Amino acid sequence: MIGNEECIRLFSLYLQVEKNYSLHTVSGYTNDIHEFEQFLKEENVHSFLQVQYIEARLFVSKLVERKLSRATVSRKLSSLRSFYRVLVRDAYLSENPFSLILQPKKEHRLPRFFYEEELDTLFEFARNDPSSLGIRNYALLELLYATGIRVSECQGIKLQDIDFHLSVVLIRGKGRKERYVPFGSFAHDALTTYINIGRVDLVKEKHDYVFVNNRGKSITSRGIRHALQQLMEKATVNGKIYPHMLRHTFATHLLNNGADLRTVQELLGHAHLTSTQVYTHVTKERLKETYMHHHPRA
């Protein structure tokens, strides 16, 4: 009988080779499986192959008791359903114990985004820091808003990926899918200044990654989030803020100003249009403007 460790290895191989997922994504999936394995030990179940519907149902109940968000529970369920689907496919099991477990209904929260006035405050604050790290942070801010790319995608950009003549950048997204994303004059100028001045000052040993940390090494996704989080807090932008809001803001502003949904989907790198449709909300100002312009008795 195949052991638990070998089951996880097979699943990890499936995610990397067949699904072409990044190491970060694979790690997230396997962490969910390890968490389930720990639960099984506590229930005196020693093998993944011994799991029945009752254990699967009990695990979900435990997740709910911990007051985890619906999105988190849904993600863990998806990981386990995929894990057992592989074991069934490879004939280690005859049926998937998670196949009858229903996904929790998703919470329909509108993505949070910056208003243009908030962005102006943020950009102005970032632009006034003349240090090498300040120049880097401003370039990060401009590029993330100009392109709507994920922080993890930004981290992987190399010098040869940027075409300054055409003002486009090659992005490697989820599933290692590649796409070209254009950027505007503000991001162009910020990147040029950073690469020619800020980056030159920070880099000690030659490498191709565009964005670097204070030691001149390639910056991590966590490093980007930390740097921008601090910048946003210092700029005293109101409310709870986080770097991914720049991606939400990019999509919201494009759609509010007339861009079509398919184009925004392509720019964001969404595999499915339904992922992009969440951004079809509009700001209160836009709603009021439309109402005042079109209603006969406004």
The residues carrying an active-site annotation are 150, 174, 244, 247, 270, 279
Q: Who's near 188: CB < 8 A, 6+ residues apart?
A: 164, 167
**Distance of alpha carbon 16 from the chain centroid:** 18
| Gap between the Cα atoms of 200 and 206, Å rounded | 10
Alpha helices, DSSP H, located in 215-270: 221-234, 245-256, 261-268
**Neighbour tally for 51: CB within 10 Å:** 21
**Neighbour tally for 209: CB within 10 Å:** 16
What Rg do the C-alpha atoms of the chain give, in angstroms?
Answer: 23
Query: In sequence order, what E strands does the chain have?
Result: 162-163, 168-172, 178-182
Token pair belonging to 146: 């100009």
Nearest to 248 by CA among 149, 125, 104, 176: 149
Dihedral (CA of 226, 231, 237, 243) sign: negative
Give the DSSP letter of residue 207.
-
